[in-house]
């Protein structure tokens, strides 16, 4: 690269308008052993760090400071995006389930047929009487069954007495037999 061209690109470099390719060419230009005197003050910008007398390795103090800073800083909690999505999904589902259950359990509201409580009372009573009358009629059919159960219970009590009597009789019989053998 010629000095004139290098000058133009250098100008562009300081204006921050150079492309990567142009910067590479500049570095190549400054790496030459002999460059025009006017360019010499800029050589150190494009020389390798080693050439500038700098080291890539951080010094001990810098390392110590970095370690101290990292110790003092609270650990950054990394939130897993997938986990957030899963939990928000579960929360949304639970919300829907609870709302649906409340909606399902809620009794439907119907418009009253009567506006007069006395009229409603009369009709409600009439309904209850009808229900009760049929209910009792159904239960009365079961009356013989309950009577049968009562009789069975009473018979069971009598049978118990008879069984007890038989046991006593058997005991006496055994005693009598013992007397005969003596």
Residue 103 near other proteins by CB under 8 A: yes
**Is there a contact between 18 and 12 (Cβ–Cβ < 8 Å)?**
yes
Residue 135 near other proteins by CB under 8 A: yes
- Burial level of 29, CB count in 10 A (0-12/13-18/19+)? buried
In terms of CB distance, is 137 or 179 closer to other proteins? Answer: 137
Out of 1, 139, 155, 159, name the contact with other proteins by CB under 8 A. Answer: 139
What whole-number distance in Å separates Cα of residue 112 and Cα of residue 97? 31
The residue written with tokens 């460059």 in the block is 35
Q: In whole angstroms, how close is the CB of 78 to other proteins at the nearest point?
A: 22
Q: In whole angstroms, how close is the CB of 143 to other proteins at the nearest point?
A: 12
In terms of CB distance, is 4 or 112 closer to other proteins? Answer: 112
DSSP 119-154: HHHHHHHHHHHHHHHHHHHHHHHTHHHHHHHHHHHH
Which listed range, 35-43, 73-81, 106-114, 157-165, lies at the site for other proteins (CB under 8 A)?
A: 106-114
Residue 131 near other proteins by CB under 8 A: yes
What whole-number distance in Å separates Cα of residue 12 and Cα of residue 89? 54
Which listed range, 49-57, 105-113, 156-164, 174-182, lies at the site for other proteins (CB under 8 A)?
A: 105-113
């Amino acid at each position: 690269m010629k000095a004139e061209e290098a000058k133009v690109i250098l100008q562009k470099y300081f204006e921050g308008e150079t492309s990567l390719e142009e910067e590479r060419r500049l570095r190549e230009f400054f790496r030459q052993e002999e460059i025009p005197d006017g360019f010499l003050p800029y050589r150190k910008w494009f020389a390798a760090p080693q050439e500038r007398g700098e080291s890539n390795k951080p010094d001990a103090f810098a390392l110590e400071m970095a370690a101290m800073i990292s110790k003092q800083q609270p650990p950054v909690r990394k939130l897993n995006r997938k986990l957030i999505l899963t939990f928000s999904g579960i929360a949304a589902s639970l919300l829907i389930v609870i709302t649906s259950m409340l909606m399902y359990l809620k009794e439907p509201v119907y418009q009253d047929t009567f506006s007069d409580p006395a009229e409603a009372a009369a009709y409600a009573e009439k309904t209850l009487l009808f229900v009760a009358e049929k209910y009792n009629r159904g239960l009365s059919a079961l009356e013989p069954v309950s009577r049968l159960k009562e009789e069975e219970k009473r018979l069971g009590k009598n049978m118990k007495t008879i069984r007890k009597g038989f046991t006593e009789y058997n005991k006496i019989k055994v005693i009598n037999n013992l007397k005969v053998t003596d």
